[in-house]
A = this chain, B = another copy of it.
Amino acid sequence: MKAEILAVGTEILLGDILNTNAQFLAQELATLGIDVYYQTVVGDNPKRLEDTIFHAFSRADLIITTGGLGPTEDDLTKETAAKYFEEELVLDERALGRIRKYFDKTGRKMTENNIKQAMVPAKHGIVLYNDNGTAPGIIMEKNGKIIVMLPGPPKEVVPMFRKQVRPYLERKQESTVVSEILRVANVGESTMESMVKDIIDAQTNPTIAPYAKDSEAILRVTAKAESAEKAEEMIQPVMEKLKERLGEAAYAMGETNLQTVVAKMLLEQEKTIAVAESCTGGMVVSSLVEYPGISEVLLEGCVTYSNDAKMRRLGVQKETLDTYGAVSAETAAEMAEGIAKTSGAAIGISTTGIAGPDGGTEEKPVGLVYLGLSIDGVVKTKEIRLAGSRSRIRERAVYQALDWLRKEMLHGEQR
């Protein structure tokens, strides 16, 4: 099955909105084993929309559209598809009822033109009811051609696709494709690739694809089989082999991130934690707070930006600051120890560094960061050197601090 993704909307065409729907749909279709050959964006223009849909069907079997299902006269996706399929649109009372209800729930008044949103194909149509907005989606299928029309907002597109469209497309596919992701911390994409190259090369089904996303290296293992269960069975031994090779750098599977993994470890191990930050300025503690329920173990954070605050809040010695400077292993150690002691937490973690763009010297350049860690009374420090913008350096420092904490907790578990 050859597919195309079509976004309808002047906002995307003019660059007011980023087309994240196209990325989401492309990823989903890839995991379904459906080939996507083109993505297109067209504005709310009847002639150009018609040309685009007719042209796309001249080379594809499946078109997935987003947008153009709204209540205004500009919104023409359904009407244009109906023209292609030579199909009539009729009022769907159930869809209209749901639209009315949605307006009631959000305390707004439905206007007459919303009735247009409840018009659906008389035949050959499947209505995709919308739990997160007014416009229902529509699937039309005739003579081996399929168009799946989804609303525009991503918060409506994602659940509608996952719940209603994906199962429909799965039934069309003779084989199923299942992917699983292995997340690797603090190893570059090319290093990771060379570490597992022989495993990648020895595989054809499942395939193993390395890529980088949000500054992390990721391995995607994809298996094709007659059923999802079978595909998952095929993935498992390959995943085990990869994990064994990558060791503790392979920190999680699936859709998660490092701070979530660390937060869960803290809760599981029932370790209380407190954070003392300088250059990261609250980003370490803030990333932990993102995890609901963290209040059980997270006692507090101190952003001791000034030297005075480092001494007053954490008990860092004036002598240490004078002798070694605020950006030093010695200060990082006293910060970690100080926050653990004053808060009474089992773990104290600290950051101090030069995030730039100014403030660097030859001896202590921009990007130099010291991390401190006090676990159960033992204090360690780590020097790291980072490159990039101020925000990039801060983000990387947070990442390194959390990854170090993760590894130390792993070792603690093994002791």
Contacts and interface: CB of A to CB of B under 8 A. Distances in A.
A104 interface: no
A199 B289 CA distance: 44
A213 B299 contact: no
Given A282-B283, A286-B281, A295-B305, A37 B48 contact: yes
Contact of A285 (B22, B282, B355): B282
A308 B45 CA distance: 61
Interface stretch (A12-20, A142-150, A243-251): A12-20
Contacts of A27: 14-16
A225 interface: no
B30 A15 contact: yes
A43 interface: yes
Contacts of A303: 275, 282, 285-286, 289, 300-303
Copies assembled: 2
Contacts of A304: 300
A179 to B, nearest CB: 12
Given A289-B303, A293-B358, A301-B302, A20 B22 contact: no
Interface residues of A, number: 71
B313 A301 contact: no
A400 interface: no
Interface of A: 11-20, 22-28, 30, 36-43, 45, 48, 52, 55, 211, 213, 275, 277, 279-286, 288-290, 292-293, 295, 298-306, 308-309, 312-313, 342-344, 355-358, 390-391, 394
